[in-house]
Structure 1
């Protein structure tokens, strides 16, 4: 306790000497408590006093060293150009605290739909009444970003997605088909992101490509067979059964173009974020060589897969861990040389 009181008095003494212009004594006053005694907040203030002191006594190397130590303690330290001394503002411009890498975890809901590329069926496809509609699933994953500048980053993710969509059709004289397809997949998006900053709020936009690998695909099906008797009476026979495995009817590898918007909010030295992403399937998900291979789909439910692509909307939330490394900016080096040095 006595040591903490002494260091509190030491910091007050350093403030007083600075205000009175007794600058050369300040480094010696602060050094013992900086080595052992000050807490984090006191160290940050001490390094700021030292930085200003060294600037005033024309020792720029020591000023930069003190300011770098301040930034290592507080990577989110900001300078107010309106109120802070101009020499601190200029010095701050020589440094960056933008993390080289950030890591994050994400999870949320997704909404998937399918669209027909070529229509197939067991009836007259020119009079098809088929309809695709959106289904809800979930996604979990994480990723990392390499910051190319204060505003631009390159991101890579690994995600698990459970996606669903619905299909309805009416065959012949009124037989109703219903199918819910459920897909499980791994997707690897890579994208460029542009960030802006408004105090603690950091909105962003991004665009890129996603490689998707299908792990599983299954379907819940029902055929309502309309029966009309000779007297004109109408009745329905429901044809159902266990889930059908569709994995052999699907292309395992698929490709998507994606784009998204979001915002992250600073909490201490980390961030919470909310993100909305749209992805558009670039290829037909149906394996053309196995399109007719499932006999149950053909003869029990009267169903033939269309060639189709998937679109997906994701709404996710997550948590970001920046890997801070405060450093001096080398203006003479180009972007790729600076990345190599990182």
Structure 2
């Protein structure tokens, strides 16, 4: 006989009991990573795990601190900002901005972990490595590990394996043990999950997080079919609305142009100069993609995949162009 054959106890509705069951199920699968440690998180899209962070805050009341290249406006599309602490890794003159240097980030984290407990999420790993070099980032990771020892905090460093060399991944994994973020069956937006339920809930399945030592995820290269050069915006036509539309077009292609958010807050001259710099890098990236397809034909499939990821991040274009010249010249 079904458990629902008799009236629910204490006057609770079936929906209330189901919601309670769902909450317990979620809490049971939201076990936290070990404290006092730095973990690396392999992910093709560093924004997807923000859902998991939102659930940690909501279900377990975990303190969540995020350092992100996303502007507050864009970060707020993934997680409720009034529930977390966050810093925008940008040179922008904004109350939430923090200069994207390893020294500044290290100081901010060291200051924060002196009290309380929680999880610190630092995205833009590839960007930080490009800015200051892999060796500097590895030293940054080691230093953070020393700072975290004995605290109730955990630092998570998400990155894509397509952005790093195999030797770099091996070094990073030694300093920051890989951690697997659970995949939730629910496709509900984060904002809806964070609110108190107003309708009959749906129980979702989740995979409990675990430390992964040897398992590698399936790598899916970025989609490049939609890459194309767009007409240049003239200075006379350069307005916030026009720039917003162009950012949307480039983002739809898969390019990371988050640095252009600064242009909305700068004067027109500075904003237009920044737009021109990004446009030039995109022009080079599109040209690189054409040549990457050529080295694929010659059998350099793995290297082509790594290059393709990096051009979508608009980083390391000089080294990519030099390597393409080398491969296509017939020297290799």
Scaled by the length of structure 1, the TM-score of the pair is 0.19
Structure holding more strand per residue: 1
Considering Cα pairs closer than 8 Å and 6+ residues apart, tell me whether 1 or 2 has the greater RCO: 2
Structure holding more helix per residue: 2
